[in-house]
Structure formats: C-alpha cells, structure tokens
Amino acid sequence: MVVVLMLQLALSLRLIWSNTAFGDEALYLWAGHLEWAHWLHGMPIPDFASYFSGAPVVYPPIGAVADAIGGLAAARALSMIFMLVSTMLVYLTARSLLFDKRAAFYSAAVFALLGPTISLAFATYDAMALMLIALSALLAVRAAGRCPDLFLIPAGLAMALANITKYASALWDPAVIALAIAAAWHEGPWLRILRPARLAAYAGCALVIALFRLGRPTYEHGVLATTLARPSGTAPPLSVLGDGLNYIGPVIVLSLLAVIASRWGSNRIRFLCICVTIACLLAPVNQARIHTLTSLHKHVVFGAWFAAIAAGYVISQANRLQLERSWRVAVCAAAVIPLTLIAFDVSGGLYQWAPSNNLVATMKPLLRSEQAHYLIDPESANILYYYLHANVYPGELSLVQCSWWDPALRRQLQGPSACAAAIKAGYYNLIETDDAANGPEGTPAENAVWRAIRSSGKYRMIYRARQVHHPADFFEIWQLTDQGGVPNVAGS
C-alpha cells in the first residue's frame, strides 16, 4: 500500500504545478475568500448558493485557507490528500467486504492508477466529496457488528456532508447502502434491511436540516438548477458513453469480469459485484441521458471507487487460478501496466487548458478605474476574480448576461440583444473575448458580443494571444476608442 500511495502521489504531484487555474478552480477559491470576508467583516457577496453545484460554505472556504497558505499548488495538494485518503479507504472497505488483504490491495491499486483519480487533484470540491462518500461506505460496512449505530450515525453524517459538498454525489448514496447490505448479509434478512434503512434515515435527516432548514431558499434553487433539473446539453449519448469508457474503461471491464466470476462465488459476493458495477456506470449513463459531457471526467471517479472493489476481487481470483508465482506476476503486470499508461495519458490530457498568465498580466493594469465598465467572458472573469481579487471586486466585471435600456425602443433589453446594444453604444470601456466561442460552438450571447464589437467601429484590439493546446483559438482584449462613453444605464 505504501508503494501504491507513493505512486499515486508522484503521478499527482507532476500535475500540481502544470498549469494556471482553470475556470472552476478559480471560481471556487475566489468564492471561498469572499465567504471568509463575509463571515469576518460582513462584506456583501454574490449569492453563490443559487448556482453552485455544492454548498459554497463547505469546500470553498477550506480551499481558500489552503490557497492563502500556499497558493493554487497548496489548494491542489489538499485535494490530492483527499484522493490519497480515498485510496486508503477503498483498501479498508474492500478488506472488510472481501475478507482478503490481497484483493483489497488490488482494489486500491486499480483505483489509485486510474487517470481521472490522478487528475482529481483539482482545487474543486469533487475530491472532498468523494473522500466523504468513501468514509461513509467504510463506516457503513464496519456497522456489521455490535453497537451498529456507533458506526451508522457517523456514516449517515459523512454521507450527508458529502452530498452537501457536492450535490451530485447523492447519485452514489444507494451504492453505499448496497455495501451496508452486503456487509450485513449473514445477519438475517431483517437486520440486512433495517441497518441500511437506518443509515438512509440518519443521512436524510441531516441533509434536510442542513440544506432546507438552516440553508436559504437559494440552496433549493441551486440543487434544482445544477443537479435535479439540470438543462440538457447537445452531446450525443454515444459520445458521452464513449468518453466515460475512455476515462475508466479498465475498471469497467474488470468489474464486468467480476460479475461473471461471481457466478462461482456466494450470493453475497454476486450481489456486491453487481451493485458496484452498476455504481460504476451511473455517471456515464446519467450524463448520456441529459446529453452533457460537463464534469464527466470527475463524476466517473465516484463510480470507479466502488467498482475498484469488484476489480480487486476478480484480479485476486485470477491469481488463485495460477499455481506458478511467475504467472501471478504476469497477471498483476497485465492489470497494472495498462492502468498506469492510461493514467499518464488521461490525467495529462485533462490539464490541457489555455494558461492565463499573460491574460492576467495584461488585464491587471487596465482594471483600475472604479467608474469603468467591463465585459468579460465568464471563464476569464472567474480567473480574473481569483488572481486579481485584491484589485477587482464583485460588480466591476460584467458577464455576458447583459441588461440594457434601449431609448429608441423604450424598453429593457435582456441577453444577447442587450450585449450588442451596449457595445454599439460604447458603454463598455474594455471587452475580453475567448475566440473559441466565436462560431458554431459559441452561445448566442457570445456570438452577439463578437459581431457587435466588429460592427460598432468603437473598439480597437489591444491584445491577441493564441491559446496553448488550442492553436485555432485566441484570447482578445478590445478597448473603447472613444473614452467619452455613455451614461451608466446597463447592468449584468
């Protein structure tokens, strides 16, 4: 296990300093700093709860503390620690369920060497939520003994905290309950049902109290908008399933083989292998249902944690079929080497977004006037808020959700038409665009901004840089040539 953890540590460390913050990291860490400012000094902050897919008062402040100590690298290192703990938890859980240290070791190795596992050292709340789900699973499994409520209550609390940290983690709550059933399999049908039912009740009560009694109504809106009633995307279902297979294909194959091998095992093992294999497929199937690839590389890790238990079981069974030690080594090598190679490829590819060093350095001296108005691409705005939060405060940067009073039409415009009208009127002193959004892949608002800039004749380009890893795309900064501007009648 020490070797496995050190290998996972080495693979994750090479990525911690590999790039600047991407949009989600910047948003959550910036939000965490603002939450601390709100708690300590009463500073007004945006209503993050209305659009965050996790409670803004849980991970963001924790990540912000790490960021304040050691910057982005420290915040990523914190997530890396969460993932190392998750690997140890899958070992302990598999050992309790399979009664086999060797199978537990294989489970931990399979999980640790997955590409998405390595790359989840992002400064986002996914790693913390996964660790809490894993902790809940271990406690639920350990409840199969005397004084079960000593384990079931903290297991329920850990599950509820995981769901609050990241709402989508609730998709794997049934998998935790299934592990509790498998652990209590030999204790009779009533205990097999009642203990997991108590676990669900403890978690449900804590969740309801935290989100809907202590939380504000905006939390309900956030849960609905980001998780339960998330808008459908445009990605073909087969494309979503294909990406899921690319991310965690080895563990899917191994868990399916475990289901086949469990035909010669006990009913408990068969139930366990089937349940964790289903858990592994939940993220790809659910996102194929809503046609979206967003965060798929992070969501599949939750299911892979459960499926790693079945993978460890089938590798252990394959080893038992080999009488010669050399064959055992060959079987282990056949499982570990492909996982390691895929981990290098997938984890490295997930960090290939455009670095923002030059963009931040260029924008910093331009964001000085409190009376100026800025229109910034949403992803870039989050990055600027994070890196320049000492110079830029909420409300100074306008996003593309524009609102504009049109004096000719005598009515308030919203959305893309408002963006275009404000630009043509010369309202914004500075506009930053992501050239990747200009075209078929851009949103209506982004395309409206791009067309309005070029048709207005009031802006000149002062910065243009090719995006690394995306050579056809550019960052562009446009400055108003007529500094007279117009009255402040627009907002965002």
Q: Is the pLDDT of residue 436 over 80?
A: no
Question: What average pLDDT score do residues 309-322 get?
Answer: 84
Q: For all residues of the chain together, what is the average pLDDT?
A: 83
- Dig out the tokens for 222 from the structure: 């956030």
pLDDT digits (tens, 9 = 90+) for 441-451: 556 667 778 88
* pLDDT computed for residue 276 by the predictor: 96
Q: Is the pLDDT of residue 440 over 50?
A: no
Q: Is the pLDDT of residue 394 over 60?
A: no
Share of the chain above pLDDT 70, in %: 83
pLDDT digits (tens, 9 = 90+) for 102-114: 999 999 999 998 8
Q: Is the pLDDT of residue 354 over 70?
A: yes
* pLDDT computed for residue 334 by the predictor: 63
* pLDDT computed for residue 115 by the predictor: 83
Task: Tell me the HSE value of 301 on the side-chain side, using a 13 A CA sphere.
Answer: 31
> How would you classify the pairing of strands 411-414 and 403-406?
antiparallel
Give the pLDDT band (50/70/90) at residue 389: confident
pLDDT digits (tens, 9 = 90+) for 144-164: 777 788 899 999 999 999 999
Question: What average pLDDT score do residues 369-381 get?
Answer: 74
Spatial CA neighbour of 112 closest among 2, 219, 202:
2
* pLDDT computed for residue 121 by the predictor: 85
Residue 317 — left, alpha, or beta (φ > 0 → left; ψ -120 to 50 → alpha)? alpha
Q: Are 103 and 314 in contact (CB under 8 A)?
A: no
* pLDDT computed for residue 396 by the predictor: 47
> How would you classify the pairing of strands 459-467 and 430-434?
unpaired
Share of the chain above pLDDT 90, in %: 37
- Dig out the tokens for 71 from the structure: 């910057």
Q: Is the pLDDT of residue 403 over 90?
A: no
pLDDT digits (tens, 9 = 90+) for 176-217: 999 999 998 887 777 778 888 888 898 888 888 877 666 677
Alpha-carbon span 341 to 335, nearest angstrom: 11
* pLDDT computed for residue 491 by the predictor: 35
Q: Where are the domains of the chain?
A: 2-349, 357-480
Alpha-carbon span 310 to 261, nearest angstrom: 10
* pLDDT computed for residue 77 by the predictor: 96
Who wins on pLDDT, 412 or 403? 412
Q: Is the pLDDT of residue 488 over 90?
A: no
Alpha-carbon span 425 to 151, nearest angstrom: 64
Give the pLDDT band (50/70/90) at residue 472: low
Among 310-319, 345-354, 361-370, the minimum mean pLDDT is found in 345-354
* pLDDT computed for residue 395 by the predictor: 46
State pTM to two decimals: 0.88
Alpha-carbon span 336 to 109, nearest angstrom: 8
* pLDDT computed for residue 169 by the predictor: 94
Among 46-60, 90-104, 293-307, 431-445, the minimum mean pLDDT is found in 431-445
* pLDDT computed for residue 343 by the predictor: 54
> How would you classify the pairing of strands 459-467 and 403-406?
unpaired
Residue type, 95: R
- Dig out the tokens for 39 from the structure: 């708690």
* pLDDT computed for residue 489 by the predictor: 38
Alpha-carbon span 200 to 480, nearest angstrom: 58
Of the ranges 16-25, 102-111, 140-149, 471-480, which is most confident?
102-111
Distances (CA, A) of 4 to 7, 117, 307, 344, 356: 5, 13, 18, 15, 34
pLDDT digits (tens, 9 = 90+) for 214-258: 667 778 778 888 888 777 888 899 999 988 888 888 899 899 999
